[in-house]
Structure 1
Amino acid sequence: MNGRRSAIVIVDPVSSARHYGSEIRSKGLIGVALISVAKLSEGLRRLQDLSGFEVVVYAGSFELAVCRLAEYEICAVIPGSDLGLGLSDMLNYHYGLVGNPVISLKSRMCKLELKKTLEYKNVPATHSIEVSLKSIERSQDQNFNFPLVVKPSQGTGSKNVKVCKNLAELSLAISNIEGNHDFHVDGEVVALAEEYIEGIEYFVVTANLGKNENKIFLCFAKYEKIECSGNLSIYKNIMSLPLSGDNAQLAFSYACDVNEAIELDYGINDIELKIGPKGVLIIEQNGRLPGADVPRMIELCSGFNCYDFNLDIYLGKKFQHTATPRFNKHFCICCLISTAPGEVKSISGVELVSQLSSFNSMNLFVSTGQRVEVTRDFLSSWGMVYLVHENRELLAEHAELVHQLLRLNM
């Protein structure tokens, strides 16, 4: 025995990943939060809670991470957010642990490489091109087929994702991406332009049990988003749907094809996609547990513990019998939207919302006396309300009530 304590490392835990600590303790192991980013943006910082981890280690590079983890017997390394994808795969390779191939890492981290890989593997996807202010200035006569979606090649929370209807809007969107250094990822962040896809936006959560092994369909949900001033991805509601529907099965099959193409062999991930006139087409892939407390909602509605299962995947457990979870209830996550900036004098409707029969919990990111800005994306929502009920029609009604009742008074 070398005397080192056995540990599971969660790299850059944010949002849903904050719950890993207690699950790791239940397995009799040390939960280590490895922080590779010195300073998070305000939107991500409010979603980070390290209190559940027994140990917190700060390391801004692979070499430093290996050095500072030397006192532990590392059993698994798991990404806790998009920020931790690269370091997780490299550490797993270094330790000889279960993980996804480093050689295909870029296709799981960079949206442009993702699209290139899918095209090469003949998985349907919209074509993306790299654009810059310089390239537009050099080719003013270039014909763009508007509307276009412009997004950063890396990043999270739909930050700086815009729908552009003309060249002026395109130039402004590119400028916002090129002037923003708040992504905290490896490599240069560039602007990508791609066709705007008509259709309803969904996400699929899949458990990947290994190369050429089974994949388990864990969740299917619909995004209700609103567009305001060119901000494409202002989340309003996230509503779970039955796994047995035709669209659900189409989406799961497509997600399996995507994961196989990019060699996301291990772990639970979610894929955002649209289903419309052109079929099923990817928006983005997130190589970690879904955010917004979706894993907790899955467990409340089906009894399936995503944290425990994902830990077992990375610990190398062999699964003899796997079944799709059965949802006895459904969930709706209401993302609270601010349409104007100002100082919060009071918040009304909290008590009324908490009395709804579907109410589960509420997480408000602002309080009296604080300043709130206009909601631009998921990370700038001013709070989340979680609803759970057997009746999806009632959930939809209650979701509308949440948005009507909860108000910021400024």
Structure 2
Amino acid sequence: MAKRALILLEGSTSNGPLYVQAAKRLGLHPIILSADPAQYDYLTSEGIEAVRVDTGNFDALVRECSRLRATYDIAGITVDLDESVYATVGRLCRHFDLPGPNPVSIEQCCDKFTQRQLLAEAGIPVPAYHLAANAAEVESAAAEIGLPVVLKPAVGGGSIGVRLCRSVDELAEHTTYLLGGDHMWQSSPRILVEEFAQGPYYSADTMGNEVIAIGAADFGPPPHFVVRESIFPAPLTDEEYERIADVSLSCLQALGLGWGPTNIELRWTMGGPVVIEVNPRLPGWTTPRLIQLAYGVDLVTEHIKLVIGEEWDLRRRHSQTAAARFLVPDCDGTLDWIDGGSQAAAIPGVAEVKLHVEPKTLIVRKGDFRDCIGHVIAASPSLARTEAILHPAVNSINWSIAPLPELGEQEQSAARHLPRTGPRGAK
């Protein structure tokens, strides 16, 4: 009898190991298809089968999956985080008659401008927005909306290329950055110019047509959107929870996303919840772990069950407050040393400590998720207790960064594009 296999397109250092481990627990043989399997270091430690294939080439993926079917019973095909190939996953699932997302809905959602249009047409509150292809259009759109505005690539994730522009100078500077060759575009350069919706940040995580959890997060100083803390459940009144849940379910209906996981980002403004972004996938970073600690719901395992056509179970098993603090350096340079992780992990109530960098790592802050060099997670029956656990745990971790020598313009540009081991995710 052929071994049942779960095919994962690409991967991530945050959710990838969770999917691999959950697949094994379900008796599945995980196989990674990737354009560059070597970038996922956990594959070797987990002993995972990986196949090098152009994941941007649908026909090549069909041929590879067909080849694997000669050896394995392919139970399902999915992706753990990378929404850039999620529409391809949907197409592959349809080709091989497997459960999967609607590829058209995924493609529409991954284009932030199209997503905004569909949400606005459905009457869902979103920030004022315009699409721009050049500096003149950016300037005109910002003038019409009114400063401050947020500039972001129309396609992308992880807050890469996203900036708050509070003045004409900041607007011009970031426009030049996006259009001047420094930003790595996934598609043709298209900039979304968006009203800055001011208010507390919340995220709703859904599976199918059910809201599983609503969390809150705080960010570091502007103009960037680098998360410093994430909490589940968000401290909301029952009425606030219901309003966010209702808006989130309306998003799913408007975008045709009633299958699988979705992560919806919102701000609570003076007029109530405003939708910032809808991500047609599970969130990365620490969110799956926080939801499991807070409610006892393993979204990764339940997603895989859906993918392979088995019955899922989204019932909450307990109620705790789980929170993560992210370690973010305040300067660039070469990491001399980092320690204190074992002391933090030994504090009662600390559930997880991870450091993503090692000594001699080059630290060049980019103003997005890649700036995070580690995190600490704690859980307890109350928010106050969880915060009290996190404070000494985070303070026990220290590091030293030696300043970089003065770099020329060409060297600075090269440094900004250097990859660094860390969590792949999206705000």
TM tier, shorter chain?
0.7 to 0.9
1:211 equivalent in structure 2: none
Moved more, 112-121 or 347-356: 347-356
Paired amino acid for 1:283: I
* Alpha-carbon shift at residue 117 of structure 1 (Å): 1.0
1:212 equivalent in structure 2: none
In the TM superposition, 1:74-223 aligns within 5 A as 74-81=74-81, 82-136=83-137, 142-178=143-179, 179-180=181-182, 182=184, 185=186, 187-208=187-208, 215-223=209-217
2:25 equivalent in structure 1: 26
- Alignment of 1:62 onto 2:38: no
Once residues 277 and 138 of structure 1 are traced to their aligned partners in structure 2, the CA distance between those partners, rounded to angstroms, is 26
Moved more, 144-153 or 81-90: 81-90
In the superposition, relative to structure 1, how do residues 28 and 140 fare at CA in structure 2: closer, same or farther (>3 Å)? closer
Once residues 153 and 141 of structure 1 are traced to their aligned partners in structure 2, the CA distance between those partners, rounded to angstroms, is 16
SS of the aligned residue for 1:397 comes to helix
1:240 equivalent in structure 2: 232
Residues 56-93 of structure 1, C-alpha deviations (whole Å, 9 max, x = no match): 12322111011111122433221222232121111112
In the superposition, relative to structure 1, how do residues 135 and 257 fare at CA in structure 2: closer, same or farther (>3 Å)? same
Once residues 128 and 25 of structure 1 are traced to their aligned partners in structure 2, the CA distance between those partners, rounded to angstroms, is 44
SS of the aligned residue for 1:63 comes to helix
- Alignment of 1:254 onto 2:255: no
Once residues 335 and 352 of structure 1 are traced to their aligned partners in structure 2, the CA distance between those partners, rounded to angstroms, is 16
SS of the aligned residue for 2:226 comes to strand
- Alignment of 1:11 onto 2:3: no
TM-score of the superposition, structure 2-length normalised?
Answer: 0.83
Is the contact made by 1:31 and 1:53 (CA closer than 8 Å) also made in structure 2? no
Residues 154-199 of structure 1, C-alpha deviations (whole Å, 9 max, x = no match): 222111211101222112222333334545x4x3242111100011
**1:366 maps to which of 351, 357, 372:** 357
Is the contact made by 1:177 and 1:190 (CA closer than 8 Å) also made in structure 2? no
Once residues 138 and 201 of structure 2 are traced to their aligned partners in structure 1, the CA distance between those partners, rounded to angstroms, is 33
- Runs of 5+ consecutive residues of structure 1 not aligned to the other structure: 209-214
**2:335 maps to which of 338, 341, 344:** 344
Moved more, 247-256 or 190-199: 247-256
In the TM superposition, 1:237-386 aligns within 5 A as 237-241=229-233, 245-317=238-310, 324-374=315-365, 376-386=367-377
Once residues 141 and 218 of structure 2 are traced to their aligned partners in structure 1, the CA distance between those partners, rounded to angstroms, is 36
* Alpha-carbon shift at residue 375 of structure 1 (Å): 6.0
TM-score of the superposition, structure 1-length normalised?
Answer: 0.86
Is the contact made by 1:16 and 1:294 (CA closer than 8 Å) also made in structure 2? no
Give the fraction of aligned pairs with identical amino acids, expressed as a percent.
Answer: 18
Once residues 205 and 144 of structure 1 are traced to their aligned partners in structure 2, the CA distance between those partners, rounded to angstroms, is 30
Is the contact made by 1:13 and 1:48 (CA closer than 8 Å) also made in structure 2? no
Is the contact made by 1:10 and 1:33 (CA closer than 8 Å) also made in structure 2? yes
- Runs of 5+ consecutive residues of structure 2 not aligned to the other structure: 402-427
Paired amino acid for 1:259: L
Paired amino acid for 2:299: C
In the superposition, relative to structure 1, how do residues 280 and 140 fare at CA in structure 2: closer, same or farther (>3 Å)? closer
Once residues 264 and 92 of structure 1 are traced to their aligned partners in structure 2, the CA distance between those partners, rounded to angstroms, is 16
Paired amino acid for 1:79: V
Q: How many pairs does the alignment contain?
A: 390
Paired amino acid for 1:168: D
SS of the aligned residue for 2:198 comes to coil
Paired amino acid for 1:22: Q
In the superposition, relative to structure 1, how do residues 346 and 105 fare at CA in structure 2: closer, same or farther (>3 Å)? closer
Paired amino acid for 2:62: V
In the superposition, relative to structure 1, how do residues 137 and 165 fare at CA in structure 2: closer, same or farther (>3 Å)? closer
Is the contact made by 2:341 and 2:354 (CA closer than 8 Å) also made in structure 1? no
SS of the aligned residue for 1:345 comes to strand
* Alpha-carbon shift at residue 149 of structure 1 (Å): 0.8
Is the contact made by 2:131 and 2:190 (CA closer than 8 Å) also made in structure 1? yes
In the superposition, relative to structure 1, how do residues 407 and 139 fare at CA in structure 2: closer, same or farther (>3 Å)? same
Once residues 9 and 137 of structure 1 are traced to their aligned partners in structure 2, the CA distance between those partners, rounded to angstroms, is 41
Once residues 283 and 221 of structure 2 are traced to their aligned partners in structure 1, the CA distance between those partners, rounded to angstroms, is 22
**1:408 maps to which of 384, 399, 405:** 399
Is the contact made by 1:334 and 1:402 (CA closer than 8 Å) also made in structure 2? no
In the superposition, relative to structure 1, how do residues 149 and 297 fare at CA in structure 2: closer, same or farther (>3 Å)? same
* Alpha-carbon shift at residue 139 of structure 1 (Å): 5.5
Q: CA RMSD in A?
A: 2.7
Paired amino acid for 2:30: G
* Alpha-carbon shift at residue 351 of structure 1 (Å): 4.5
* Alpha-carbon shift at residue 141 of structure 1 (Å): 10
SS of the aligned residue for 1:388 comes to strand
Is the contact made by 1:295 and 1:307 (CA closer than 8 Å) also made in structure 2? yes
Is the contact made by 1:133 and 1:171 (CA closer than 8 Å) also made in structure 2? no
* Alpha-carbon shift at residue 280 of structure 1 (Å): 1.1
Paired amino acid for 2:63: C
Is the contact made by 1:234 and 1:375 (CA closer than 8 Å) also made in structure 2? no
SS of the aligned residue for 1:50 comes to helix
In the superposition, relative to structure 1, how do residues 188 and 133 fare at CA in structure 2: closer, same or farther (>3 Å)? closer
In the superposition, relative to structure 1, how do residues 80 and 323 fare at CA in structure 2: closer, same or farther (>3 Å)? closer
